Structure 1
Amino acid sequence: MAEIIELIFLGIGVGALSGFFGIGGGTILVPALLFIGFDMKSAVGISVVQMVFSSIYGSYLNLKKGTLDVRMVLAIGVGGAVGALGSSFIVSALSGRTLEWIFMGFVLFALGRLFFKTVDHDQEVKKVHPALLFVIGLLLGAFSISIGVGGSILLVPILAGFLHVPLKNAISAGLFFVVFSSISGLVSLSAGGYVDYYHGVIIGIASMAGVFGGIWLKHVVPVKQHKLLMIAFYLVVIGYFFYRLVVKHG
């Protein structure tokens, strides 16, 4: 019973941060699961289940609030779904430690793009060929699901920094992308035997309550403060993985 209560509170917290930062939840959940004793590959499987719940519900809320442009992210989403189908192969081919290094690399890149380039643009969103958007989604889907994240951790800085999408809209688009990548990744990882449905469903259902609060808070906090909180969040994640990979096991 104590374990279930712990997982419920974990799910609520992950959901709240997921809705607030527009991420699938894996960026929060994977480090949390590693901290409480799960290995990397088990954490990836649990994370993908949770992402299905939080991304679908969160995207529904964002659509109601008018910050989700479905047409803009559709090509990227389809590419992400195709790429995520190969996630099981990547997980089986790489060691857990290697996946952790890749995870930290994803967060470092996202932090760099957000910190140095991302601003809240007022000018028109850049037009990009759907084929290029598909390729972006393909690459994000393949590698992000393999480390238990939905891909929005990289997609949000790309949309805001390169394509001039307003930050709050980019966050909504990032969460919607996770719908495609997480469902496809769940199919792939299930086939490879990497999914722990018991823990994943408990955390996933609990995360839906947190997502509601996180999305509400996203629309209350000013853009500048929201960006600073995203930077702080990425720094905490990087610090934890640096400790695990360099200090603890270096």
Structure 2
Amino acid sequence: MELLLVAVGVLIGGMSGFFGIGGGTMLVPTLIVMGFDIKTAIGISVMQMVFSSLYGSWLNHRKGHLNLKEGAVIGMGGFLGALGSGWLLEVVPDIVLEVAFVGVVGFALYRFFHAPSEPDPSKEHDLSPAVLFGVGAGIGLFAISMGIGGSILLTPILVGLLHYPLKKAVSAGLFFVVFSSVSGFISLSVAGHIDYWHGFIVGVASLLGVQGGIWLASRTGNKKHKNALIVLYFIILVLMLKKIFFG
């Protein structure tokens, strides 16, 4: 089991770096297929996101791809919102979480499909800090409760609504995961939903993948990068639908 989790961690880390996601969008269904129940899978996923998002954001900052000011405002909202994730897991049944997960992935797939690969540079990022904070808070609560970092929602919003360049939006999405995952880790730890040993294995293994994923993303064109995200979301959607309807 441990060796398989190492391989999974490297793969998920690569996806985190390339797609700017925490990794839970793929890790949670993968762990469920491996036999973990959804709440344990969510705990492992959140712990892995702490590792991958911190390291990946540091690498992106070195490359100059992060807007730290806007990212911090959204991230602080995500941090506060994610503090409620442990409570939400206690009161929401597993099947509701799974259906909600499918809804999130479906929304992200729709938004990315309609978002332009090359945004209009004349359009301004005109949302106020209060709106950015509120968006972050809502995403933090909803996403961490499902074991995802929130960038699967945030990145399409930044690209489709705020006209961010794709690669900067991907970097901002991963930076958001730092705030939401650390907050979620605290909340889920208090609620007793963290499998520390397996989470540590996956998290450490993911660091190698993150570095490779960021390297690959920097060498991939915007259109190909966007299409790869759409394919990823579609795969996740199919996996979760299979879990809901066929067990």
TM-score class, shorter-chain normalisation, is over 0.9
Structure 2 portions without partners, runs of 5+: none
Of 37, 58, 61, the match for 2:59: 61
Q: 2:124·2:163 contact (CA, 8 Å) conserved in 1? A: yes
Aligned to 2:97: 99
Aligned to 1:72: 70
Aligned to 1:178: 177
Aligned to 2:31: 33
Aligned to 2:9: 11
* Distance in 2 (alpha carbons) for counterparts of 1:49 and 1:143: 17
* Distance in 1 (alpha carbons) for counterparts of 2:87 and 2:241: 26
Q: Give the CA deviation at 1:117.
A: 2.5
Q: 1:120·1:160 contact (CA, 8 Å) conserved in 2? A: no
| Structure 2 residue 155 is the aligned partner of structure 1 residue 141 | no
Q: Give the CA deviation at 1:104.
A: 0.8
Aligned to 1:205: 204
Q: Give the CA deviation at 1:182.
A: 0.3
* Distance in 2 (alpha carbons) for counterparts of 1:117 and 1:228: 11
Root mean square deviation, CA, Å: 0.9
Look up the SS of the partner of 1:225 in the other structure: helix
**Offset from partner CA, 1:115-160 (integer Å, 9 cap, x none):** 0134321414422110000100000000100000010000000001
Task: Work out the number of aligned pairs and report it.
Answer: 246
Q: 2:114·2:160 contact (CA, 8 Å) conserved in 1? A: no
Q: Give the CA deviation at 1:241.
A: 1.1
Q: Give the CA deviation at 1:197.
A: 0.7
Identity %: 50
Look up the SS of the partner of 2:219 in the other structure: coil
- Residue type at the aligned position of 1:101: V
* Distance in 2 (alpha carbons) for counterparts of 1:217 and 1:38: 31
Q: 1:126·1:163 contact (CA, 8 Å) conserved in 2? A: yes
Question: Closer, same or farther in 2 for the Cα pair 1:12/1:30, shift >3 Å?
Answer: same
Aligned to 2:156: 157
TM norm structure 2: 0.98
Q: 1:45·1:189 contact (CA, 8 Å) conserved in 2? A: yes
Aligned to 1:218: 217
* Distance in 2 (alpha carbons) for counterparts of 1:97 and 1:196: 21
- Residue type at the aligned position of 2:6: I
Structure 1 portions without partners, runs of 5+: none
- Residue type at the aligned position of 1:197: Y
Question: Closer, same or farther in 2 for the Cα pair 1:125/1:12, shift >3 Å?
Answer: farther
TM norm structure 1: 0.96
